[in-house]
């Protein structure tokens, strides 16, 4: 862990530069450029709103809040999370030239990829906040905990990428496995329903242990429900334990595979 931290401090300027380059690379060559970072999420939100509100005629309100407001408050972190689950897994393979042709610390590759996705997320979050304000949800003191949820989300998925990207670099099968599980993760994360309302207690507890569920509910608690993060002690403690476990597994996996990655790539 100390070695990884040292590498990040020593290459902090390169990490920031590569994060900016990753954003440019993602949208380079398209006529609309940066607008695609907004168009894709808005299209997805509209499709889910239409399917559940118009097609399935679901309730117009969730816990007294309009369904559209409830939906966007919870789905906005998912766009970052979904990209990190897949693109974070493929980060080392995508930037193999940094590993094979340059003397660049492998541990920093997932970090600058995650940072680039976080910058796009912040732009989308700003648009979401503007929409909520127009819907009668003004900025208040609860917004002070948004940096906490963003930081926890960032750290968790940096650790996830540090775990998954070396495995994906060694074997493409792991990357394909992750992509195939993305839909399942989405539906088990309470993005389109409230897992706290599930009547089966054991199933409800299991779903609430999902780190994605914690982040999604955290955004909703901040933006619309007005609940402080320390009020849900079970979820807070569970998430910190899972984060610690993820960090331990990520470091062990990286330590074991880092010397083999350049040869495989």
pLDDT for 127 equals: 87
- The model's confidence at residue 1, banded by pLDDT at 50, 70 and 90, is confident
The answer on pLDDT for 37 being more than 80 is: no
pLDDT for 141 equals: 94
pLDDT for 31 equals: 53
- The model's confidence at residue 228, banded by pLDDT at 50, 70 and 90, is very high
pLDDT for 246 equals: 95
Q: Name the domain count of the chain.
A: 1
Q: Which of the two residues, 35 and 106, has the higher pLDDT score?
A: 106
Number of neighbours of residue 58 by Cβ within 10 angstroms: 15
By residue range, what is the domain housing residue 30? Answer: 2-264
Q: Which of 40-44, 86-90, 100-104, 258-262 has the highest mean pLDDT?
A: 86-90
Number of neighbours of residue 197 by Cβ within 10 angstroms: 10
239-242-245 Cα angle (round to 5): 150
What distance in Å separates the CA atoms of residue 231 and residue 210, rounded to the nearest whole number? 18
Taken in order 212, 125, 53, 196, is the CA torsion positive or negative?
A: positive
Q: Which of the two residues, 141 and 28, has the higher pLDDT score?
A: 141
**0.95 exceeded by pTM:** no
pLDDT for 58 equals: 57
The answer on pLDDT for 151 being more than 90 is: yes
- The model's confidence at residue 64, banded by pLDDT at 50, 70 and 90, is confident
């Amino acid at each position: 862990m100390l070695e990884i931290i040292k590498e990040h401090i020593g290459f902090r300027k390169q990490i920031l530069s590569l994060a900016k380059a990753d954003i440019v690379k993602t949208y380079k060559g398209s006529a609309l450029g940066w607008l695609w970072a907004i168009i894709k999420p808005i299209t997805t939100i509209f499709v889910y709103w239409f399917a559940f509100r118009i097609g399935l005629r679901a309730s117009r309100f969730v816990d007294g809040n309009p369904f559209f407001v409830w939906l966007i408050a919870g789905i906005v972190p998912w766009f970052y999370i979904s990209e990190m689950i897949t693109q974070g897994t493929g980060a080392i393979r995508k930037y193999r030239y940094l590993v094979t042709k340059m003397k660049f610390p492998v541990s920093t590759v997932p970090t600058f990829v995650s940072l680039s996705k976080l910058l796009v997320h912040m732009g989308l979050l700003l648009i979401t906040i503007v929409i909520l304000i127009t819907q009668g949800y003004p900025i208040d003191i609860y917004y002070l905990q948004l940096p906490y949820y963003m930081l926890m989300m960032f750290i968790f998925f940096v650790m996830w990428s540090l775990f998954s990207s070396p495995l994906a670099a060694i074997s493409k099968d792991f990357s394909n496995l992750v992509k195939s599980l993305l839909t399942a993760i989405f539906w088990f994360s309470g993005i389109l329903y409230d897992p706290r309302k599930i009547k089966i207690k054991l199933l409800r507890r299991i779903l609430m242990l999902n780190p994605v569920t914690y982040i999604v509910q955290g955004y909703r608690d901040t933006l619309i429900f007005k609940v402080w993060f320390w009020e849900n002690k079970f979820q807070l403690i569970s998430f910190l334990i899972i984060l610690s476990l993820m960090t331990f597994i990520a470091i062990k996996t990286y330590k074991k595979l880092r010397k083999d990655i350049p040869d495989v790539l």
